[in-house]
Structure 1
Amino acid sequence: MDNTINDWRDLAACRDSDPELFFPVSEVGPGARQVADAKAVCARCPVRSQCLDYAIDNRLTDGIFGGTTEAERRQLARRRHADRHVA
């Protein structure tokens, strides 16, 4: 695996967290609390932007990455795509 990717992952705030926290069944109801808890971990992460870029670049559809849900990443990806075409 690419050492650059390993480097940012080694610094991730979620590294010692239960991975299941970042894969809520739903974003509503009881899952909303899990999403909030996962995002709280991301909020204190020094490599949050690298994580988010990785998730968008690799079109990850499940889980919380870089403090975003799949729906939020989809919206960001659309904006990035539109910005590239405007520039």
Structure 2
Amino acid sequence: MPNVSRLPGRSEHHWLWQEGAACRDLGTETFFHPTGERGEARSVRDQAAKEVCALCPVQTECLRHALRVGEPYGVWGGLTERERRALVGQAVG
């Protein structure tokens, strides 16, 4: 019989916040830009995503997750990837 005493145990509590997310049933197109999207189109999409995030009951948990794991793409917790990089002091490119 394998020794499972050193396994980390259940971890679904790390993800339960997602069940209450305002974006849960909206799809990804509002929160993740298509390849090559720039300028006004990207600004409009980002703003639409931020409006959803502003009303979300788990916005803080979402942003905390994105910062903790270094999410490289999309709007998470009301911030774009560029805004998150600036928040943690990384070079914005």
TM range (shorter): 0.7 to 0.9
Q: Which residue among 54, 57, 66 is the counterpart of 2:77?
A: 66
Taking structure 1 as the reference length, the TM-score comes to: 0.81
CA distance in 2, matches of 1:30, 1:78: 27
- Is there any run of 5+ residues in structure 2 with no aligned partner, and where? 1-9
Equivalent in the alignment of 2:21 = 12
CA distance in 2, matches of 1:27, 1:56: 24
Q: Describe the superposition over 1:16-72 as per-residue Cα deviations: whole angstroms up to 9, x where unpaired.
A: 112111002446221111101000000000110110010011011100000000111
Taking structure 2 as the reference length, the TM-score comes to: 0.76
Note the aligned Cα RMSD (angstroms): 1.8
Equivalent in the alignment of 1:40 = 51
Q: Which residue among 63, 76, 80 is the counterpart of 1:52?
A: 63
Q: Work out which of the two has the higher radius of gyration on C-alpha atoms and give 1 or 2.
A: 2
Q: 1:20 to 1:2 in 2, by over 3 A?
A: farther
Runs of 4+ aligned structure 1 residues displaced above 2 Å come to: 25-28
- Is there any run of 5+ residues in structure 1 with no aligned partner, and where? 80-87
Instruction: For residue 49 of structure 1, give the secondary structure of its aligned residue in structure 2.
Output: helix
Count of matched residue positions in the alignment of Structure 1 and Structure 2 = 79
